[in-house]
Structure 1
Amino acid sequence: MKRHIVMIGMMGAGKTAVGSELARQLRVSFTDSDAEIETAAAMSVSEIFARDGEAFFRDRETQILARILQGRPGVVSTGGGAWMQAGNRELIAARGLSVWLKCDLVTLWQRVRQRSTRPLLRTADPKGTLARLIEQRYPTYAEADITFDANSNDSIETAARRLIAQIRREVPGLLEAK
């Protein structure tokens, strides 16, 4: 691969699941930026948000993302808010191909409603909060290089194959060796 493939999108869109399978099929490394942040901080994303706040987390996220993108090209999964930072979009554009895994509210809610690990959804109305986040973020997510329909009930393997085919159509040569 000539550049990183960076998965962006809302929580529950499948960035980690599809991203790790994409990396497996392409035989490249996979890195989850949230997992890297958790390792560096020795605490969960939820704990970082609770202890240090979102602004602190976003600063660490940018530092980790910059470090990941300096490495050999692979597949990178980012947190849902990473793309919302202009500096992160610039980092990703310089070293990678951004892929938005786009899902509708119904699909996302089905995927995240039973999980208590989403700090931004710890509100009195988590579904309403998710809908507001979609409204705020989708115009910026739409700036990604590729928009991938992640609403499908495909298996993760099939979704990754569909994404590989879409990347080959829309960015010829990216997946070929240097």
Structure 2
Amino acid sequence: MNPAPHLILIGPMGAGKSSIGRRLAERLGLPFTDMDSAIEAHAGTKVTTIFDLEGEAGFRAREREMLAEVLHSPAGVIATGGGVVLAEDNRRLLREGAFVVHLDISVEGQLERLARDRTRPLLQRPDREAVLRTLAEERAALYADVADLRFSTDGMSAHEAALQLARLVDAKWQRSEAAA
């Protein structure tokens, strides 16, 4: 068990981090933070605009700052972006300050869930399946490196996944007080 004040959801896009996270936070009686939404609120613009103006590197810098900020806030459930694990500093922060749940999904499941989504900068390419497969290969070991628990969301609704995950988390997560 990893005693920690925060429960953080990591995983690929389309795995359900935001939709499951909201429901899970409600079930656990904790506040919910979606990091991409928090980055947008802080920047005063959309993630897509940040990518357009600053590139992925600019977005990743903002993501690192936001992760550090949310980990110093009161305990809660936090949904990250899929690439949060790319930076070693982020992986260290995740390991040290959170119980980390890797929400996993197959590429086929991602394609189904993201079929009509045109808001994700990394998917603004003609061959979405190839992009998702490449990202899965590049990030799988990084997700595994920091995860305290792996949970597949394939074939589940957000409601069903949150119910099942709440039971698992209740058995495995030892909550502690947030860092001051």
Tell me the TM-score normalized by structure 2.
Answer: 0.91
The alignment of Structure 1 onto Structure 2 pairs a total of residues equal to: 174
**Counterpart position of 1:129:** 131
Shift of 1:25: 0.5
Q: Match for residue 5 of structure 1?
A: 7
Output the aligned Cα RMSD: 1.7
Which residue of 2 is the match for residue 72 of structure 1? 74
Unaligned runs of 5+ in 1: none
Identity %: 36
Q: 2:39 matched to which residue of 1? A: 37
Deviation (angstroms), 1:65: 0.9
SS at match of 2:7: strand
Contact 1:168 1:174 (C-alpha < 8 Å) held by counterparts:
no
The equivalent of 1:152 in structure 2 is 155
Q: How far apart in 2 are the matches of 1:110 and 1:116?
A: 13
Q: Does the alignment pair 1:167 with 2:169?
A: yes
Partner amino acid, structure 2, of 1:150: T
Unaligned runs of 5+ in 2: none
**Hey, what's the Cα distance between the residues in 1 that align with 2:47 and 2:25?**
23
| Higher RCO (CA 8 Å, separation ≥ 6 residues) | 2
What is the rounded CA distance, in whole Å, between the counterparts of 1:49 and 1:4 in structure 2?
28
The letter for the 1-side match of 2:160 is T
After superposition, the C-alpha distances for 1:95-141 in whole angstroms (9 at most, x for unaligned) are: 11111000001101101121110100111211111111111111111
Structure 2 match to 1:142: 144
1:151 is paired with a residue of what secondary structure? coil
